Amino acid sequence: MVATCFIALSFILITVFAQKTPHFYEDRSVLVSLLDWKFNDIANECENFLGPNGYGGVQISPVTENAILEGRPWYERYQPVSYNIITRSGNEKQFKDMVQRCNDAKVRVYVELVLNHMAAGEEIFGTGGSKANGEILMYPAVKFNASDFHKKCQIEDFANPEQIRNCRIRESPDLNQGQPFVQNSQMELMNKLIEYGVAGFLISAAEYMEPAHLKEIISKVSNLNENFDFPEGSRPFMMFEVIDYGNGAVSRNEYTELGVVTEYRYTRDVSNAFQTDRSLHSLLGLGPKHGYLPSEDAVVFVHAIDGKRAESHKILDFNENQLKYQMAMAFMLAYPYGIPTIISSYKFDSPNQGPPADDQGDILSPEFNAEGQCTNGWTCEHRLPIVQNMIKFRKMVGNSNLNNWADNGKNQIAFCRGKDGFIAFHNEPNGSFKTSIPVCLPEGVYYDIFTSNMEDIEGAKLIIVNDSKKAKIEIKSEDDYRMIAFHTGSRVNGATDFKKSSAEFNEEIEEELEELEELIKEIEDEYSE
């Protein structure tokens, strides 16, 4: 009996761990969310950019047939009419082709799923031609009727978890995942997507569903398709969207048994720090000590599609503050916490505006300028040079620990990743970040990855590391990028023969180093208390 229980427990633990594995190809660690892109455009991007530039996976918007809403707002994708694969992004054949091509480019595909509810309204027309009636709860294309839904009620008390999980988000009819037919329908959808080669799923609005019901559904889902280079017995990577800032009735901790969970506190704190509502110093020790999930349970991002549109939330956005946004992105990609996701979006003038489209409502494809940046209404944050360079940084530092954190108690911070990478940020409104500092890397000359690359280092900031692994850095408030980063891969050719070892330099760097070490000790003592 004891042995049987032990085996069962071991199986559960192995399954849970497996559902937290993204199945990236080697040396890849970053997700990109291509919001509302067409399937063929996603496939092209996998082949032409994401694969060659080291992205691990692409997360795509809901693929199931949705209601056609007036004005074609962004949220119509979250109003399902059926579980047929047909949206403005394309049809089932195009989806299948996209998944194959992305896998061939070594980019895994993750599909966002809307399982909590169905589309609201009396006369509903879907993107694939299906019709439905939300007033009488008839959705013929997926064979849902009134018996598959919770009773009609609105969420009025967000301190009441029973209301949150059994009543409606706005007017959207709330599915009852405790019903076998609902469970099987959703399981069949996931299995079809797995058959086509997807690596996992993001469950939208997971906090509105009972974890026990989700567990039942996921337990019935097939292992990943081995024809797409997944090892035998691989479980789908499961992500759960749970908006939890620590004071709600539903906790993200209830979902970590099933997979990884969105860590919205991280988004809030990083955005606030770089917008100077809080200091960069406040990011010291970012992780469980701040009340966050363990790193292995977390998915992180600088902004989310709904957060960046909410006027009540001061979330960083590329369109409003490009400098601060890019600094926050660089921090996320340098700091070893969670699975980082780049939200790649488009321009919008009103909170509800959908993706770029023509007069018939058909989504426009992104176009590209001479620098490889997107046009035609798309912002394509994932193509920013800073992001590309930081993905290379992550590849060089691997899983190495964070070490040698230093800051001025306010808005200047620096840290190393093992012996392979160094990064510093200057977010003060004036002045400069000028100091001598341990940088952890071997002696030599390195170029700053934000101002150059190995093909062309003309005009780049060069960092000289002496034989004590110390360097002088300077970041000015008027710099285009108020950051410096370098790694073992940005070492200048022939740098091993270049030495800055004069007595004047060494004496100056030692004096400044002593002052810095005293400051670090004071901060560490304060933090440990």
* Residue 504 confidence (pLDDT): 42
Rounded Cα distance, 267 and 292, in Å: 11
Cβ–Cβ under 8 Å, residues 450 and 441: no
* Residue 16 confidence (pLDDT): 63
How far is residue 436 from each of residues 146, 414, 424, measured CA to CA in Å? 69, 11, 12
Rounded Cα distance, 272 and 315, in Å: 8
| pLDDT tens-place string over residues 417-465 | 999 999 999 999 899 999 999 999 999 999 999 987 655 666 778 999 9
Residue range 29-116+177-397, CATH number: 3.20.20.80
Cβ–Cβ under 8 Å, residues 114 and 78: yes
Q: How confident is the model at residue 314 (pLDDT cuts 50, 70, 90)?
A: low
Q: How far is CA 235 from the centre of its chain?
A: 20
Q: List beta partners, residue 344.
A: 34
The arrangement of secondary structure in 402-493, i.e. its CATH architecture, is Sandwich (2.60)
Q: How confident is the model at residue 508 (pLDDT cuts 50, 70, 90)?
A: low
| pLDDT tens-place string over residues 177-224 | 999 999 999 999 999 999 999 999 999 999 999 999 999 999 999 999
* Residue 499 confidence (pLDDT): 40
* Residue 321 confidence (pLDDT): 85
Whether the predicted model's global pTM rises above the 0.85 cut: yes
| pLDDT tens-place string over residues 64-119 | 999 999 999 999 999 999 999 999 999 999 999 999 999 999 999 999 999 999 99
Place of tokens 């009396």: 122
* Residue 162 confidence (pLDDT): 96
What H or E segment, with its residue span, contains residue 444? strand 444-447
Show Cβ contacts of residue 419 under 8 Å, excluding neighbours closer than 6 positions: 400, 440, 441, 442, 488
Does residue 388 surpass a pLDDT of 60? yes
Rounded Cα distance, 205 and 78, in Å: 10
**Does the fold of domain 402-493 match that of domain 29-116+177-397?**
no
The total of other beta-carbon atoms located within 10 Å of residue 167's CB is 18
Over the chain, what is the mean pLDDT? 90
pLDDT (mean) for 52-66 = 99
The domain segmentation of the chain, as residue ranges, is: 29-116+177-397, 402-493
